[in-house]
Homo-oligomer: A and B are copies of this chain.
Amino acid sequence: MGTEELTGAALLAVGSALANPHRLRILGALADGRQYVSHLARELGMSRPLLHMHLQKLQSAGLVKGSLELSEDGKAVKYFEAVPFKLEITPQIVKSALPTLPPSTDKREGTSP
């Protein structure tokens, strides 16, 4: 796996995911190996709700993957790990992804005013 045909939506999701310093740090931290949320929050010095949101976005983009597990002592622990993706982006690739971009949705009123 690695070089799949990126859809417009996927390209947009990936771009958005990489558009924030915290998310880059999270991704970098997970490149070393899986970690559970609370631990990661402490390591990166950010609040859990915030980290949760960022992880959500990274997961939506398909860059990380979470799995809820049961630790030895019965506690529920959610581990996250980086998906071993390999993005490859060029102007041509962007161009060919355009047709699968969600329509602009004119935001001004629906179809029957």
Contacts and interface: CB of A to CB of B under 8 A. Distances in A.
Interface of A: 8, 11-12, 14-21, 24-25, 27-32, 63, 82-92, 94-95, 97-98, 101-102, 104
Number of copies: 2
B24 A98 contact: yes
Contacts of A21: 8, 12, 101-102, 104
25 contacts: A8-B21, A12-B20, A12-B21, A12-B24, A15-B15, A15-B16, A15-B20, A15-B24, A21-B101, A24-B94, A24-B101, A25-B98, A28-B91, A28-B95, A28-B97, A30-B91, A31-B91, A31-B94, A32-B95, A82-B91, A83-B91, A85-B89, A85-B90, A85-B91, A86-B88
Contacts of A101: 21, 24-25
